[in-house]
Amino acid sequence: MKEMVFGRIGAMALAAALAVAAGCGTTAPAWKESGTSFAKDALQKYVDSGELPGAVSVFYSDGVQETACLGYADAEKKRPITLDNAYMQCSQTKGFCGVTIAILVEEGKISLDDPVSKYLPEFKTLWVELPATNGVRRLAKAKNVLTVRNVMNHTGGFSFELPNYQSMGGWSRRMPLRSVAATAAALPIKFEPGTKASYSNVGIDIGAAVVEVVTGKRWEDFLKERVLDPLGMKDSGFWPTEGQQRHKIEMYDVKGGTQAKWRKDNPSMQRPYGDDRVFASAGAGLWTTAADQLKFYKMLMNLGTGENGVRILKPETVKSILATSTRPEGLGGYSLGLHVAGDGWFGHGGAWGTNCMVNPEKKQLKLWAVQFCGGPRPWDRARSKAAEQFFNAKIDSKAAEAYTGRMK
């Protein structure tokens, strides 16, 4: 994070923040450390018992932040968890695809109501799978036009994954995005576009394929050029280095009341992770760190401006198509690759337990970085209570320095 010049009070806040957050691997922050320990107080007992191997928790409110690095990235080796440990964020990648779509909408190169077939002709004719009659499979030609909006908000009718993905090793053994789209177009969809909602990695990958056609670039290159690099997200990408893999957050099977158990990998994300057999996936493929995640989500919280002052999107773009649901009424809250929870909150989670939500109206954020399979996870309720305590606490923010370009 870019260092900033503070006044006397700000310098004292900076020194305190660095002292508190040193164990998390942070650099000079553009906010004041809260001095609170709500997350640690609520969760430490689970770490001590071995139920919770390690986690990064961040609560942020209008220039004040509580950063907690609890337990270990590798419990067996007693390697402490930090903001700089790499991990697979899984479905949180969807929001990154949503931002690339929003950039092109803002530039007038895409409309959310454009037919997908305008960019990918193979989607011109789609077939909807109907209930079988006497054991005979039935199909009907789709009446509704599949739009960019549909594929990005899970109302396109696509399955969660393509049928052949499990045999290919899941998310880290996918085909190129254009091949994903072509395969999906050849298969029946589950319902008429725009009439129901069904969560789909495939749909988001189709959206990324549209980005490739419009920009003439691979989606991951466009993402790096227009989002990751401008925000300073140097540790995020689809091919983690050997160094990142050695120091990553390890994966654990967890079950409340028993000690967590290390697992080598998950069938949906098999090793090796960083070789040339791995293709970028917009639905669930980006590796990142908690430090980088904060840069991305604080950009959304700040209506398109990063902590470093770089503007990715205009405020109105974030408000209208990322922070607001783009689904028909009654189908739940979802925008472009992002869950819209209501009360001003939006963001996304990932399969291994990661999550980040932001509220631009209140300038608030809550981040959780872990790598877990299984459950139950009793600490989730404790974490939610800790977040509530933080956001309701009376914390002096007078010494907090607003980051460059912050919106009022």
Domains, in order of start, for the chain = 1-408 (3.40.710.10)
What integer pLDDT is reported at residue 15 of this predicted model? 39
Share of the chain above pLDDT 90, in %: 79
The CA-atom distances, in angstroms, between 92 and each of 98, 142, 151, 191, 273 are 10, 30, 16, 25, 18
Q: What is the pLDDT of residues 14-33, one digit of tens each?
A: 333 443 444 576 555 678 99
In residues, how long is the chain?
Answer: 408
Compute the distance between CA of residue 218 and CA of residue 378 in angstroms, rounded to an integer.
41
Q: What is the pLDDT of residues 239-257, one digit of tens each?
A: 999 999 999 999 999 999 9
Q: 216: Cβ–Cβ under 8 A, 6 or more apart, which residues?
A: none
The pTM of this model reads: 0.90
Asked if residue 376 has pLDDT above 70, the reply is yes
Share of the chain above pLDDT 70, in %: 87
Q: What is the mean pLDDT of the chain?
A: 89
Q: What is the pLDDT of residues 154-208, one digit of tens each?
A: 999 999 999 876 555 555 456 899 999 999 999 999 999 999 999 999 999 999 9
Compute the distance between CA of residue 405 and CA of residue 309 in angstroms, rounded to an integer.
5
Angle at 24 between CA 15 and CA 323, to 5 degrees: 95
Helices 379-392, 38-49: inter-axial angle, 10-degree rounding: 160
Q: Which residues pair with 91 in a beta bridge?
A: none
333, burial (CB in 10 Å: exposed 0-12, middle 13-18, buried 19+): middle
Q: What is the pLDDT of residues 99-114, one digit of tens each?
A: 999 999 999 999 999 9
Q: What is the pLDDT of residues 275-316, one digit of tens each?
A: 777 889 999 989 999 999 999 999 999 999 999 999 999 999
* More confident position, 284 or 1: 284
Asked if residue 60 has pLDDT above 70, the reply is yes
Asked if residue 385 has pLDDT above 90, the reply is yes
Compute the distance between CA of residue 376 and CA of residue 378 in angstroms, rounded to an integer.
6
